[in-house]
Structures are given as structure tokens and as C-alpha cells.
Structure 1
Amino acid sequence: MSIYRARVKEFEDALKEDEIQLKYLHELCFNGIPDGYSFRSLCWKILLGYLGHKRLTWEETLSRKRSLYRQFIEDLVIPPGIAATNGENGCLNDHPLSEGPESAWNTFFNDNEFLLQIDKDVRRLCPDISFFQQPTEFPCDIVANSKGERRLHQRVVPSILSSANVERKGLGVTKQINLITKRSFESYSAMEEGQEAHWEIVQRILFLYAKLNPGQGYVQGMNEIVGPIYYVMASDPDIETRKHAEADSFFCFTALMSEIRDFFIKTLDDTEGGIKFVMTKLSNMVKQKDPEVFERLRHQELHPQYYSFRWLTLLLSQEFPLPDVVRIWDSVFSDEHRFDFLIRICCAMILIQRDLILENDFASNVKLLQNYPPIDINIVLSHAVSLK
């Protein structure tokens, strides 16, 4: 039996148990989940806490959560005018120009402010692959039945864009949308009526997350977190898994964000769970493992926030090709201490480049670390394991 086939057998045996042995499953997934099967989508659901360790609970959990997600769409995505024509309460006497706090139309227009940024971000998600531009097999039937009024991208009129600021609640750079009269996308186009591209589904997931988490809302970079999760669910070999990829991705993303949400909230940067604290841990690890590299970066005043802020906040999703990101997340999600291994991966990335770092000037090192060179991801992961 080949090593690969033996690995597949290990996963098959582990996942068919009535009660999943979580510690053993974590050990299996840490070393990489085999491609070509439905293992990864199922394992991620378990590792992220969406599914429990008892198989008997899975069917009920999935049915309940998927039904709940559908209700979220009905309640939170539909424009007030559509709801009113459908005879729902609370909208018949509401006026689009109303500015009252209880006005559904006022909420609708306020929602469009952050939807504008979501729309911009998801249209350029993972541009190195065509997946997110392709149509899904399972466009939302709620969207199709309303003749498109509920397709979120249609709220953001492509030809007109007023000025707006996106508040930085945790991500490093605040971006401002400038006042322009014509919006031209060098990015993905929406599908014709009756179809949906995968990026349109990611847009709806992020919109609903922002609506259901008003204290946090949408922050740039969240699209890079949900993208790989949705990719795994929507490209699963099992048709039933693909059919419910949107709802399952939403709850997996929500579970993951509950663990890393402090990264996205600026006021928590200095707390133990904040991004500054995590960057300090990385810097201390580099100092411990390679004092010479640490001193070189310190002497050049190349602070961790110049490069590792994005690495850590976005879980390396922008540093490597998507298949490598998925492999990294197998290990990160399986790590007993969750994000300790992420810090070791980042440390390994620095130490692997030690010769260049010691030779380069400041500008060259900034370029090196902000645009990490292509590398076999297994080399990085092996080095990270050796740092424990």
C-alpha cells in the first residue's frame, strides 16, 4: 500500500467512528489532509467547531444551521421594497427617504456603505486562479426567484460612486475610496440573471457576517479569510457538500473569526489577543532562534508591522498560492494552541531567508518580506515544526 493510500485509510477510519477522537484527528490533519476526497471540508468543519465530535449530531446540526442561514438571507438581504410587496410587516408604511433609526430603508442605505467595500474586495479575490469568477452549480434560489433584486452587487451602481471612508478597526491600513464619477472594474464581472459567480456568494457571506456582527462590521481583509474556506467547501467532490457550501462556509468563517476577531479591532491591538501582542511574540521568537537576523532587522528599523502584520492577520492567505494556503491552514487549524504554529511558520519564513536578510539593505529586505519569494511550502512547514 502506498503512503498516500495509507494516509487516506487513516482518515477514512478516523472519520467513520461514532465519536471522533479529536486529538488523533488533529494529529492526522496537522500533517496535511489528502486532496481528492471530502476529508478536508469535513475535517475543517470539525476543527473549527462547526460540527461536534459525535457523528450522530452532524445531520441535525447541518440541517438546522443551513435552515438558519437561509432565514438570514430572507431577513437581512432582501431590500425593504421587496419585503413590502411580499406583504411582510414593518415595511408598508416605510419611506425610502426616512432617516428614522427604525426605518428599514435607512438601514438599507447604511448597509450599502460597507457593501461598497465588500463588493470591491471580493471582485479581486484570488486573481491567480479562475475559480471565483466561475459560475456556481447552486445559485441561491432566493436570489433567482426575486429576479435579481436581492443580488447584492446590484445595490452598488457601477457608474456612480460617492466618496466614503472605510474605518480601520484592526487591519493595518485604512483605505479611502475617492470621489469619482465612473467606476471601472479591472476585476470580476457578475453573472447573467439566473447564475451566480462564486465571488458573488462570498460577497453575500461577508455581508451577512457584517450585518450580524455590527460591533465589528466588515473590515478589509476578511475576504481573504473566507475565500479559502469557501473554496474548500465549494470544490468538494461530494455534490451535497457543494450544494450547501455557502451556509457551511458562513458558519466556519464565523467560528474562525471568533478566534481571530481581536486582530481586526484596533482598540484591542495591545491586548493579549491583539495583533501587536502576536507580532511581539514573533519578534521574540526570531530573537531567540537567530539573534543575528534579529539584530539585522532591528538595526535597519525594519519593524514587524512592515511585513508580519499582514502575515498574521490574514493567516498567510496573501503570501502563497491558494493550494499552499489550504495546506498551511490544515496545520494551523489542527495546532493544539491554534495560532502558535502560525507564529512558527512566520518565523521560519524569516529564517529561511537569513542569508539574503543579512546581505540586503533596508529597501531590499522590505521588498523580500513583503513579497515573499516562491518556495516549496513543505520546506517552510518542516522548518516551522523544527522550531518547536
Structure 2
Amino acid sequence: MADKRRENEFLEILGASVINIKQLGKLSSYGISDTCGIRPLAWRILLKYLPAKRDSWASVLDENRKIYKQFVNEMIIKPGLKEYCTERTDVTMDDHPLNPNPKSEWNSYFKDNDILLQIDKDVRRLCPDISFFQNASNYPCEDLVNPINRVEVLHKRVQRTALSSQNVAKNRSGIVSGLISKKKQALEEYAVLPEGSEAHWEVVERILFIYAKLNPGTGYVQGMNEIIGPLFYTFASDPNKDWAEHAECDTFFCFTNLMSEIRDNFIKTLDHSMTGIGGTMDKVSNLVKTCDPKVWLRLDSQSIREEFYLFRWITLLLSQEFSLPDTIRLWDSLFSDPLRFDLLVAVCGGMIILLRDQLLTGDFSSNMKMLQNFPDSVEMEVIIAKAHEIKSYVNLAYLQK
């Protein structure tokens, strides 16, 4: 009965001519109903993709979908094809693979391959315990099946021999597998589907490639695949087919908006600034020190550095510490926080404090293992409740001062 009442509350808020964002956020902080496509719609609003005025949605969506289609056609095109040409043309001396001209399509093509190599490797790791990303999309890129076939299948550009070597790399803090949890250590690559089909991981690959092309200052950084995965899963699983059909475009813009809020965590030059990952880790450490000095002293005495576990927690919004359903539930609360991402700091601090008894009795090895592989026995609702409790009596704004 309570679930049905909450569902009706969501439907009432989302059905209004002007969405009350504050009310939607307050209700979403306790979890969003899975039914009727409520979560995908709520996320689009909370991530500032859809405006509050409902009657403007159609024009916003139409414009963004045209823009995204243009991105695909302009950024994922096979070299050697003249613009607007209806037939494949021969490569001429005007543009060929050895052309030194910086404006050459081939020059850009080869530079892009360096980015694509990492993206392709990472998207094949997405959520290995579910089959969703291996499954064929019901809405493959229409230009891939177009007879002209100007848009390229990205995974075909990646050299398979390069993918089979060095699957585990050091992150920028020098920690091996810093962004790869135990769930990712022994995976088989996703199988490529028959010609004309497109797996969900291939769709994600295209989105990330376009994002990297449009944001050269940030580019693509390992771990972005773990941020985009739950977004695309949520939008592509929408029971409303009209929305699910455009999951790729909507994911791109929501991911771009989300990255605008957390991208400092992915920029190495900002690691030790207040806005970068180092500043956020300091906030979590200071929060634990304030709320539970004994736990903080225990970790400090054992020289358990925040980089060993918090780096991944914060950068990936905890997507690698929990199952996909729990991650999605957590993100309901994170996206609803008007002071994003203060709640993330409280959640990370709460997770550590909830392990108090084990941490105070554990040695270096057991404590490190527990923090790098957060116990499944701690329920998500308990973690979120602890985070809200912490926020109610700790001023997070002063933790870094």
C-alpha cells in the first residue's frame, strides 16, 4: 500500500504542467518507483536534461535528438567518403592515409584510434554479471544499416591484438587496478553480434567516443564507462518504447550534464585541489574524524591511505562497490541532492563508520580488503539512512577547512 501511495505521488508530481523540482528531489531521495517508467523520467529531470515546464519537453527533445544525430554523422564517418556523396568514392591524392595535412580525415581517424582503444576495452567490462550489455539493442543506429553506410561500426576499428594485452593498468595515483574492482578481474570479452545488429555495449562505446571528441580538454578517462553504464541501462530499460527508442541520445546529454558536475574528479591536474578528487577524499576523511575519531585513528595508525579505496568510491559514484540495482537506488538519492555531491561524501563516510566494529579489531590486511571490497551484508537502505543521519548533524561545508 505504501509503495502504491509513493507511486501515485510521483505520478502526480511528474504529471503537473510545471514540475516542482524540490518536491521531486525530496521524494526521490527515498528511492524512485520502478514502475511506469518513473525513474528514467525523474532522472532526466533531476539531471537537468528536461526543463520544469512540461509543454517545452517536445521541442527540447526534438532539438537534442537532431543535434545528436548530427554528432554521429559528423564524428563517426569513414575516411575517404566525400560529404553528401551518395556512393562510395575512391581515395584520391587529396585525402589518403599518408596525407600530412592536419585537416585530413585520415589524420583525425588515426588520432581517434588511441582514444577508441581504451573505450572499447572498458565498455566490454560493463556489468559482467548481467546480460543486458551483451544483448542486441532494439534500436540500432539507423545509419549503420543505411545502404550508404557512412557511419562506421567503431569496434571494427580496434585491433584485437592490442586488446588481448595489458588488461590491467595503473591509475593516475599509481595504484594497480585502482578503478577495477574484484568483479572485473576475470572477464571474457563480449561477443560481437551478427552484421546489422548492435549490442548495447556498442551503443555505449559510440556515446563515449562522441563525448571524448567533443570534450578534448577532459577526453576519455578510464572509469567513465562505469558512470555511463547505469544511465544507459535505466533509459534503455524504460517500459515506454517512445522513450526507450531514444535512450542513446538522452544518455549522451544526461551523461554530459552529470560529467559537468563531477569531471574535476577525472582531471589529473586537479587531483590535489579543493575541487578535485583529493579535496573530496579529504572531506570524507575529515567527516570520519569528526563523527568517529577512533575509527579514523585506527585507519591512520595502519597507514591505510584514502587513495587505496576512496579514489574509486568517489570517482565512480560507488558504482563498483554495489550491484547494479543497488547502484541505481543509490543514484536516486545522489541525483536528488540539491547540493550534489555532498550526499556522496556523507555516504562514503557512513560506509566507513558502519564497518566500525570490524575496522577497530581488524589488522591492516583485513581492513584494506574490506574497504576495497565493501561487504554485501550491509544493505543499501541502511547506508543511505546513515548518510542522511550524518548530514543532519554535520556541516559538510566546513569539513575541508
| Distance verdict in 2 for CA 1:289–1:185, change over 3 Å | closer
Q: Is the 8 A contact 1:293 1:358 kept in 2?
A: yes
Alpha-carbon distance between aligned partners in 1 of 2:229 and 2:166, rounded to the nearest angstrom: 25
Query: What letter is aligned with 2:112?
Result: D
Distance (Å, rounded) in 2 between the aligned partners of 1:162 and 1:107: 25
**Cα deviation code 1:188-226 (max 9, x no counterpart):** 112111111100000000000000001111100000000
Listed as ranges, the matches of 1:205-244 within 5 Å are 205-244=207-246
Matched residue, 1:180: none
Question: 2:80 touches 2:105 (CA, 8 Å); kept in 1?
Answer: no
Q: Does the CA contact (< 8 Å) of 2:119 and 2:208 recur in 1?
A: yes
Q: CA RMSD in A?
A: 2.4
Superposed CA deviations along residues 80-131 of structure 1, whole A, max 9, x for unmatched, are 1244664799x86211112332111010011011101100000110111111
Amino acid at match of 1:300: Q
Give the corresponding residue for 2:318. Answer: 316
Match 1:285 to one of 283, 287, 291: 287
Give the equivalent residue in structure 1 for 2:385.
Answer: 382
Letter of the structure 2 residue corresponding to residue 366 of structure 1: M
Partner of 1:179: none
Alignment map for 1:338-357 (pairs within 5 Å)? 338-357=340-359
TM-score, structure 2 length as denominator?
Answer: 0.89
Give 1:137's aligned residue.
Answer: 138
One-letter identity of the residue aligned with 1:240:
D
**Partner amino acid, structure 1, of 2:157:** R
The match for 2:12 is 13
Alignment of 1:85-96 (within 5 A): 86=86, 93-96=94-97
Which position in structure 1 is the counterpart of 2:339? 337
Q: How does the TM-score come out when normalised to structure 1?
A: 0.92
Asked if the contact 1:148–1:193 (Cα under 8 Å) also holds between the matched residues in 2, the reply is no
Three-state SS of the structure 2 residue aligned to 1:37 is helix
Which deviations, in whole Å up to 9, do the C-alpha atoms of 1:319-377 show, x marking residues without a partner? Answer: 00000000000000111211110111111111111111011111111100001110321
Which letter does structure 2 place at the counterpart of 1:204?
Answer: R
Name whichever of 249-258 and 148-157 sits farther off: 148-157
Give matches, 1:133-282, under 5 Å: 133-145=134-146, 146=148, 150-159=152-161, 173=175, 186-282=188-284
Distance across 2 between alignment mates of 1:87 and 1:28: 54
Q: Which residue of 1 aligns with 2:59?
A: 60
Residue 181 of structure 1 aligns with which residue? none
Q: Specify whether residues 155 and 32 from structure 1 end up closer, same or farther in structure 2 by C-alpha distance, changes over 3 A only.
A: same
Q: Structure 2 vs 1, CA of residues 303 and 287 (structure 1 numbering), >3 Å: closer, same or farther? A: same
Q: 1:50 aligned to 2:49?
A: yes
For residues 387 and 140 of structure 2, what CA distance do their matches in structure 1 show? 40
2:36 equivalent in structure 1: 37
**CA offsets, 1:242-297, max 9 Å, x none?**
10000000000000000111000011112221110000000000001100000000
- Asked whether the equivalents of residues 169 and 265 of structure 1 are also in contact (C-alpha less than 8 Å), the reply is no
Q: What amino acid does structure 2 have at the position aligned with 1:382? A: A
Q: How many residues are treated as equivalent by the alignment?
A: 378
Distance in 2 (alpha carbons) for counterparts of 1:370 and 1:326: 20
- How many percent identity over aligned positions? 50
User: How far is 1:149 from its partner?
Assistant: 6.2
Cα deviation digits, residues 44-98 of structure 1 (max 9, x gap)? 1111111111101111000100111011000000111244664799x86211112
Partner of residue 396, structure 2: none
Does the aligned pair in 2 maintain the 1:262–1:274 contact within 8 Å? yes
What secondary structure sits across from 1:255 in the alignment? helix
Which residue of 1 is the match for residue 119 of structure 2?
A: 118
CA contact (8 A) 2:73 2:151 kept: no
After alignment, is 197-206 or 16-25 more displaced?
A: 16-25
Q: Using the TM superposition, give the Cα deviation of residue 19 of structure 1 relative to its aligned residue in structure 2, in angstroms.
A: 1.0
Of 27-36 and 97-106, more deviation after overlay is shown by 97-106
User: Which residue identity does 2:389 align to in structure 1?
Assistant: S
Runs (5+) with no aligned partner, structure 2? 178-185, 392-401
Alpha carbons 1:263, 1:313 under 8 Å: kept: yes
Judged with a 3 Å threshold, the aligned counterparts in structure 2 of structure 1 residues 343 and 235 are, in CA distance, closer, same or farther, namely: same
Structure 2 residue identity aligned to 1:98: N
Q: Is the 8 A contact 1:229 1:253 kept in 2?
A: yes
The residue aligned with 2:296 is: 294
Contact 2:221–2:266 under 8 Å retained in 1: yes
Residues 161/304 of structure 1: CA separation in 2 closer, same or farther (3 Å cut): closer
Give the Cα separation in 1 of the matches to 2:326 and 2:305: 26
Deviation at 1:185, TM superposition (A): 7.8
Q: Answer whether contact 2:81 2:150 (CA < 8 A) is retained.
A: no
